[in-house]
Amino acid sequence: MKTLTHAQAAEQFISDGPRTDWHNDTLWFVRQKRDKAAHGLPEWEQLREWASQIKNHSLSNLDQYLIEFEKNAVANGVTVHWAANGEEHNRIVYDIIQKNNIRKIVKSKSMLTEECGMNEFLHAKGIDIVDTDLGERIVQFRKEAPSHIVLPAIHLKKKDVSDTFHEHLHSEKGNNDPQYLTEAARQHLREKFVESELAITGVNFAVAETGGFVVCTNEGNADMGTHAAKIHIACMGFEKVIPKAEHLAVFLRLLARSATGQPITTYSSHFQKPREGQQMHIVIVDNGRTKQLGRADFRNSLKCIRCAACFNTCPVYRRSGGHSYHTAVAGPIGSILNPNIDMRANADLPFASTLCGSCSNVCPVKINIHEQLWKWRQVLVAEGYVDTTKKIGLKGMAFVLAHPSVYRLAGRAGRAVMRLFPFVLNNKLNPWYKQREMPAPPKQSFRDWYIKNKKS
């Protein structure tokens, strides 16, 4: 099946008006909680600046910090693996599973494993993984992808969850009580935690000077998994490394406030070394990051700490839903990360924005997201990934606007200039006219008036 473009998928999403409004309002509520938390700290803008500088410095010295991190992690008794791409990452995880003859696996939230398509890869090999983040478990039951990197099931309502649990957990049909549904998930997941042999987690921050790493969750599911299992695999994109433990003081204050408006995540778990009898692995993944690091205009997108503040503030995301972005990481940040991974498949994403700039303003590490969206548009056009009708129209427009005499003539000749503007053609094929009236053409242009009344 052909993947819909963002615009097509968004149109489908919006066709359910009340659900769109609910999605929009719910995420706006999260944005407001973020505002409240940010405005509670007079030093907020200073923190953002520090976070941005620490990340810039880390990206400029990545080789050094990654080697330092590896050295210290190995000294702590951790096995460190390097994966050039998603395929290698999945293979490494698979080999560990095979070698230890594992059957029961739990996983807490990791956008990296989504990016690498790990669940699907392992499933094809007959290995099933239980996602233990509540939202992720819900979408996993439904065979859907997360629609938001922090709130994976935010596209679903209580009733959807109730139906899903009824089908998969045999909970009471029609019981939409959140307390009841959470309890059903809790009982189900407890069982999975207890019997698990291997736990996979993501990594929020990897600290070069200690070789330790931090995993942030609100549900404690990363800890439940790793405490019970005899093997812990932590998967991280290589940009997660920061120089020192003291830098966590900046990032942990920003992360949860930006994400949900909480002062800090309920669990900020520091992992340092395997406990006795436990194996601990870290898989460090490139998967296109080196290429992005080499693109001067886009490298600082790797500063991202995956808080999703840009999702919540984005007026387009709120009204089109995460699935319309057809990638593991949706939203504004996804729209500047994904073209790097596959320009053809993701050529529509940088255009799924009005360039309003709100994303750049909420970003806790000051990524200039909207400017990068603009720059990706230039790259995609230059590389030939934009469809030709758009190209011909804009070329014609560029010609007329570069030639004042043609422009004036076009304007006078029954305002043929209207053809320049996609929004003024009064017919059903014109997307402007579908739900909007066109501006009424006046008797004379400003220029005509000026020549008549002002020019002496």
Q: Which residues in the 295-324 window bind other proteins by CB under 8 A?
A: 313, 315-316, 319-320
Is residue 98 near other proteins by the rule CB under 8 A? no
CA distance 113 to 165: 24
Does position 279 interact with other proteins (CB under 8 A)? The reply is no
Choose between 295 and 415: whose C-beta lies nearer to other proteins.
Answer: 415
Task: Kindly state whether residue 389 participates in binding other proteins, applying the rule CB under 8 A.
Answer: no
Residue with smaller CB distance to other proteins, 178 or 384 = 384
- Exactly one of 22, 29, 180, 421 binds other proteins (CB under 8 A); that residue is 421
Give the residue carrying structure tokens 């478990």: 137
Distance, CA of 118 to chain centre: 17
Which CB, 45 or 191, lies closer to other proteins?
45
SS3 215: strand
Is residue 345 at the binding interface for other proteins, with CB under 8 A as the rule?
A: no
Which residues face 395 on adjacent strands?
Answer: none
Matching residue, tokens 């296109």: 288
Which of 39/143 has CB closer to other proteins? 39
Position 80 contacts other proteins (CB under 8 A): no
Cβ within 8 Å of residue 384, ≥6 positions away: none
Instruction: Check binding of 391 to other proteins (CB under 8 A).
Output: yes
Q: How far is the CB of 19 from other proteins (least distance, A)?
A: 12
Among positions 42-61, residues that touch other proteins (CB under 8 A) are: 42, 44-45
> E strand or H helix at 147, and its extent?
none
For position 22 contacting other proteins by CB under 8 A, the verdict is: no
Please, what's the b/e burial string for 92-125 (b: 16 or more CB within 10 A of its CB; e: otherwise)? bbeebbeeeebebbbbbbbbbbbbbbbbebbeee
207 vs 373, beta carbon nearer other proteins:
373
Query: Binding other proteins by CB under 8 A: which of 64, 182, 290, 444?
Result: 444
Total residues contacting other proteins (rule CB under 8 A)? 81
Token pair 């503007």 is at which residue? 421
- CA dist 197 and 363 (Å) reads 38
Angle at 228 between CA 223 and CA 233, to 5 degrees: 70
Distance CA 333, CA 322 (A): 12
**Residue 255 Rama label (left phi>0; alpha psi -120 to 50; beta):** alpha
**Element at 414 (helix H, strand E):** none
Residue 346 binds to other proteins (criterion: CB under 8 A): no
Contacting residue, 119, 171, 292, 358, with other proteins by CB under 8 A: 358
When binding is defined by CB under 8 A, the residue of 108, 287, 353, 372 that contacts other proteins is 353
Dihedral angle over CA of 223, 227, 231, 236, nearest 10: 20
Taking residue 148's Cβ as centre, other Cβ atoms within 10 Å add up to 23
Of 84 and 401, which CB lies nearer to other proteins in the complex structure?
401
Pick 41 or 80: Cβ nearer other proteins = 41
Separation of alpha carbons 229 and 279, rounded Å? 9
Q: Is there binding between residue 362 and other proteins (CB under 8 A)? A: yes
Interface positions, 135-174, toward other proteins (CB under 8 A): none
Using rule CB under 8 A, residue 436 touches other proteins: yes
Q: Which is nearer to other proteins, 140 or 313 (CB)?
A: 313
The owner of tokens 């941005």 is 52
* Rounded Cα–Cα distance for residues 213 and 202 (Å): 10
Strand runs labelled E in 124-275: 129-131, 198-201, 205-207, 213-217, 231-237, 241-242, 267-271
Considering only residues 192 through 251, tell me which ones interact with other proteins, judged by CB under 8 A. Answer: none
| Binding test (CB under 8 A) with other proteins, winner from 168, 243, 407, 419 | 407
Residue from 194, 378, 392, 426 binding other proteins (CB under 8 A): 378
Tell me the C-alpha to C-alpha distance, in Å, between residue 173 and each of 19, 163, 168, 318, 451: 22, 7, 11, 30, 74
Q: Report if residue 400 touches other proteins, rule: CB under 8 A.
A: yes
Among 74, 264, 409, 451, binds other proteins (CB under 8 A): 451
Q: Does residue 29 interact with other proteins by CB under 8 A?
A: no
Per-position b or e across 292-321, b if 16+ CB within 10 A of its CB: bbebeebbbbbbbbbbbbbbbbbebbbbbb
Three-state secondary-structure class, residue 267: strand
Judged by beta carbon, residue 222 or residue 373, the one nearer other proteins is 373
Does the protein bind other proteins through residue 394 (CB under 8 A)? yes
Does the protein bind other proteins through residue 39 (CB under 8 A)? yes
**124 belongs to the binding site for other proteins (CB under 8 A):** no
Site membership for other proteins, residue 432 (CB under 8 A): yes
> Binding segment for other proteins among 113-121, 235-243, 268-276, 394-402 (CB under 8 A)?
394-402
Of the pair 1, 382, the CB lying nearest other proteins is at 382
Q: Is residue 437 a contact point for other proteins (CB under 8 A)?
A: yes
Stretch that binds other proteins, among 102-110, 260-268, 282-290, 448-456 (CB under 8 A): 448-456
Chosen residue from 38, 66, 92, 112 binding other proteins by CB under 8 A: 38
